Amino acid sequence: MSDVLRYAHCDQQSVQTLLNKLGMRLQLVAEGESIPGSFWGDEEAGLIQSDIYVRNDTPVHSILHEACHFVCMDNHRKQALHTNAGGSQDEENAVCYLQILLSDQVAAFGRQRMLSDMDTWGYSFRLGSAEAWFTEDAEDARKWLQQKQLLELAD
């Protein structure tokens, strides 16, 4: 899908700055190579402990999604993390919510592009779009993040 923002075409410095803030290291994978730790394969970002693996064709939404999985898990899960972030449905919702918030910290990306890219990629929400879910149906995700004191990451 060429309609989503890819790592090669984003402000890479702001992505790396955000990942560093989250306690992660970006590992760039050569074109044509498999992405280590990628749950979905293809161009999707991969996770192994605090390393996030991307190629130039990795969608920015995928990078932020996997980074938010890392942020939302406890230290025990982080230490064992390899490919499958696991977690509950409530955590998955919180991950989606947080990735939308954090998108504002990536220069020339932001919330509207994140929401559009999520819809283009095929994220599925019961209200039909990422924006409708985020604005009308995500209070549970916001509360989950508040309880874990993770909303402050978006400041």
pLDDT (tens digit per residue) in 36-51 = 999 989 999 999 999 9
Q: Which one, of 67, 40, 41, lies nearest residue 52 by Cα?
A: 67
∠ CA(148), CA(152), CA(155), 5° rounding?
A: 160
Q: What is the pLDDT of residue 2?
A: 56
pTM of the model: 0.96
Q: Are 18 and 8 in contact (CB under 8 A)?
A: no
Residue carrying the six token digits 């504002």: 104
Q: Which two tokens stand for residue 40?
A: 């979905």
Q: What is the dihedral of CA 74, 83, 22, 143, to 10 degrees?
A: -50
Question: Judging by beta carbons within 10 Å of its beta carbon (0-12, 13-18, 19+), is residue 65 exposed, middle or buried?
Answer: buried
Q: What is the pLDDT of residue 1?
A: 47
Q: Are 37 and 53 in contact (CB under 8 A)?
A: yes
Adjacent-strand bridge partners of 53: 27, 46
Q: Which two tokens stand for residue 87?
A: 């977690």
Distance, CA of 63 to CA of 128 (rounded, Å): 23
Average pLDDT (63-76) is 97
Distance, CA of 101 to CA of 134 (rounded, Å): 10
**pLDDT band with cut points at 50, 70 and 90 for residue 124:** confident
